[in-house]
Every structure is written in C-alpha cells, then in structure tokens.
Amino acid sequence: MPGQEADLGLILQGGLHNTTLRALRLLGAADAYGASRLPLLVLNVIHPLVPEEILAFLRGRRQVHLVEEGMPAYIEEQVKALAHDAGLPVRIHGKDMLSPHGEYTPDLVLGGLRRFLAQATTRTVAGAGVETRHAALMAHLPKVRAALAAPVAKRPPTFCTGCPERPVFSALKILREREREIGDTHVAADIGCHALATLPPFDTGNTILGYGMGLASSCAVAPLFGRRVVSTMGDGGFWHSGLTTGVANAVYNKQDSVLVILENFYTSATGQQHNPSTGTNPRGEPVRMRIAEALRGVGVRWVRQVNPYRVAETMRTLREAMTTTATGLKVILARGECRLERERREKPENARRARAGGRVEQSRFGVDPDVCTGDHSCMRFNGCPSLTLAPNPDPLRVDPIAHVDRSCVGCGLCGEVAHAAVLCPSFYEARVVTNPSALERLAARLRWGMIRRLADPGTRNGHAASLTSPSPHPAA
C-alpha cells in the first residue's frame, strides 16, 4: 500500500492491519479511511515469505518498522537476513521498539509506532506533533492511577448465564478435585465457546490445537499418561473435522480415551450458525443428521447421552467412562440448546402470552442468607455471572454471602452443583407466575399468611419481607 513517506515503511502481519492503522491515525500518520502516510507491506501469508516481494519493498527505504506479534521474531530475522545479503542500506526496527513477546494490544502498538515516528525524520508527520498527540492520549492515566487504590481485579470471559456447557465443566472439575481414581487427568480442549473452560474458575484444558482437533491432539499425548485422557469438542467442531480427524482416527487406532461432545445445536461461538445438529439447514429445510448415529456408523460402541443441567448424572457418566473396563473410545454426548438461542425464542413468546393474559411460569433461584456460610465453594465450582456476592446480614460474620441477581435465567445449575458437590443447602427455587389462576392466587395468599404467622415477631418486617418476590403474584 503506497504512502507519502517514500523512504520509510511498515511491514506487518495481516491480523495487525486494523490495529496498526488505528494507531497511525491517532498519531496523525493516517486518515479515518485507512490511507497511511507510510507505505505498508501487509503480509496476509507469512510463511513462506517471498524474497522478491520483501526486497522490492525494502529498496529505496531508509528505515522500516516491522510489526510482528509473537516470539521468536521469525519474520524480522528473515527480513534482516534478506536485506543484509542484498546489501541494502536500510535500518530495520521491530521488537526493539515493541515487545519481544505477548499480545500486541492497541496500546502497545501505539507506543511502538510513536517511538518509530519520533526518531525518524519525516516530511509529512512532525515528530513533535506525534509526541503531543501521544501525550494527549495518555493524559488521563495519572488520574486513573490516582483514583484506583489497587489494580482492578481481572475478570476473565466466561460462559453465558444458563449456558448448557458450563455444568459439564462443573461436573468435571468436581471429579478431578475430589475423586482419586479420576484425578488431574489431561484434558484436550477445542475451539468454541467451551474453550472458555480453560479460564477460571474451571481451569480445564491443557491443550488446544484447532477447530475439531481436540480428540486428534489427545492421540499424541495419551500414551504419556497412566490414565485415560479426556477430550472436549462442540457439535460445530465435530461436524467440521472432529468426525474424521478425531473419532475415525481414534477408532482406527483403538484409542482408549474419553470424548465429551457438547451439542448445543448451533455453531455458537461465531454467531449461532446452523450445523447438522440444528435439524434444519440455513434455508429452513429439515435435515436428519445425528451425532450418535454418526458415531456408531464409524464403529464407536460406548456412547452415552446426558442432560448437562443434571450435574450428578453427568458426574456418574464421566466416572463410568473413566473407570470402566471397556476399551476403545468412549463418547459422552451432552445435549442442551444454546441458551442465547433459547432465550431469543422463548422471551418474545412469553411476553406475547403474558400480554394476551395467558399464564407464564418462570423459575428463579436464590440463596437463603441465613443458611449461606460464605465459603463461596458454589462459585468455585460454578462461575455463573448471576451468582455474585452480597453483604452478610449476620453482624457476627464478615464474609460476604452468595447472592443470585436478577440476571438469573432459572437453569438450576447453582442448586445442582451445591447438591452434587455436597455443599451447603442454601439455594432455593421459586416459580414466578404471571397471570396466575384464582386457585394459585388463593394458595399464594395462604402460604404468605402462614409464613408471616410463623415468622418471629422481631423479624416479621425484616427477613419475612425479604422473602416476598418483586413479582405481584409469586408462587414459591
């Protein structure tokens, strides 16, 4: 891409193109439409490099800055070697002005380009102007540091509230931590929403190779362990490449391991695209393709299907897969619809029914503040965004208690985890009914009347009042 500064240039990876252009614009070296004043060589294919292309870009340049993410600096070393062998008098910068490793975030790229432009003699970009722009962009940082007494706690991305994939990793985490025969076995993760399980609170996933390659990658490491390894894969990954590279290969090689397929009926991580598990193609035409049938078709004999929201059931199935004397590949199919798609379908329908005067019932979960001990084990095995903290009502205890906020979708995982992991019995379920029948209204009045009569007079206006639901007609 040509630019006005003919004796300067930037060589960058294709994935860093937008970040680099944004940084150049902020420094006054590019416009809002992507036109850079510095010539750019964008390498959308970085291996192998084309020497003639690199040398043609370097000729006539005085300085070139190379924006290469990752370590070692393969591209930078090759470009410098080509320039040296060709005898080109060009000075090449790269990791010396950026970072030798790690992710090239916009802030880091901005700082590196600012250093390059400030020391290079340019005709259309004043070095003093670059420094002034950068100083203005960073002027807020001292105020931010002064306002924060401590760094903001890291908050890693996690599954959506109610996601059917979360309970599978809750079950696996409980087994790995509490049962000796399972132990801290190797877990080969895969690309997809379920890759978030590699982050806290689950920390489950030792390797990720590629989309649909979880089982294929485990074939290489399985012989190194004295126990069965576990591989995870989504239905999108399964239909993409997992059936052939993973399952067929494992059956062919008689691999004795466990595969957990998370079937949520969509390729969810990239936007809920349809796949064969959806049941219809993008045109809405019905398609009968089943993962269980495909597994048996290539020779898998040990196949179990579980409801992922039933954590105890999922734990029993995982335990059986890890300890059974049956050899060969063992596949657990955890089937639960993507919660985002389910909410998109059910919310408008429930709203329409409620407006029409129809009865709508929804489950909500809560934590009894008098029972919760504040040890937060439920969060460690769960991690649901709706499960948060609240001040402890007991003046003799300082630890905050668990609390379920209004983002709860009523999947029931919190209570299931508490039961399966033998935690405290502080979770309760309430059914919120819109447009209840006359009989339900009468039953609700009788229940709350009895609760108020049995409540201690000293807490009648305190704890008893906290039990009432914001919904006008709760039925608990």
Domains of the chain: 8-147 (3.40.50.920), 166-340 (3.40.50.970), 359-475 (3.30.70)
pTM over 0.75: no
**Side chain identity, residue 271:** G
**Cα distances (angstroms) measured from residue 296 to each of 51, 235, 473:** 50, 16, 50
Kindly report, residue by residue over 202-214, the tens digit of the pLDDT: 888 888 888 888 8
Tokens 């909410």 label which residue? 343
pLDDT band of residue 132 (cuts 50, 70, 90) is confident
The partner residues of 260 in beta bridges, in order of sequence, read 232, 332
> Please, is 227 exposed, middle or buried when counting C-beta atoms within 10 Å of its C-beta (0-12, 13-18, 19+)?
middle
Are 11 and 79 in contact by the 8 Å Cβ rule? The answer is yes
> Please, is 152 exposed, middle or buried when counting C-beta atoms within 10 Å of its C-beta (0-12, 13-18, 19+)?
exposed
Separation of alpha carbons 205 and 194, rounded Å? 10
Kindly report, residue by residue over 198-249, the tens digit of the pLDDT: 988 888 888 888 888 889 888 877 777 777 899 999 999 999 988 998 999 9
Which two structure tokens, joined as six digits, stand for 4? 């006005």
Kindly report, residue by residue over 78-113, the tens digit of the pLDDT: 999 999 999 999 999 999 999 888 889 999 999 999
pLDDT at 457 > cutoff 70:
no
Kindly report, residue by residue over 337-378, the tens digit of the pLDDT: 998 888 888 889 989 998 998 898 888 888 888 888 877 888
Neighbours of 157 (CB within 10 A): 8
> Please, is 406 exposed, middle or buried when counting C-beta atoms within 10 Å of its C-beta (0-12, 13-18, 19+)?
exposed
Separation of alpha carbons 42 and 60, rounded Å? 18
Separation of alpha carbons 96 and 103, rounded Å? 15
The partner residues of 40 in beta bridges, in order of sequence, read 10
Neighbours of 64 (CB within 10 A): 26
- Residue 459 confidence (pLDDT): 52
DSSP 111: H
Closest CA to 232 of 266, 209, 254, 265: 209
> Please, is 315 exposed, middle or buried when counting C-beta atoms within 10 Å of its C-beta (0-12, 13-18, 19+)?
buried
- Residue 472 confidence (pLDDT): 40
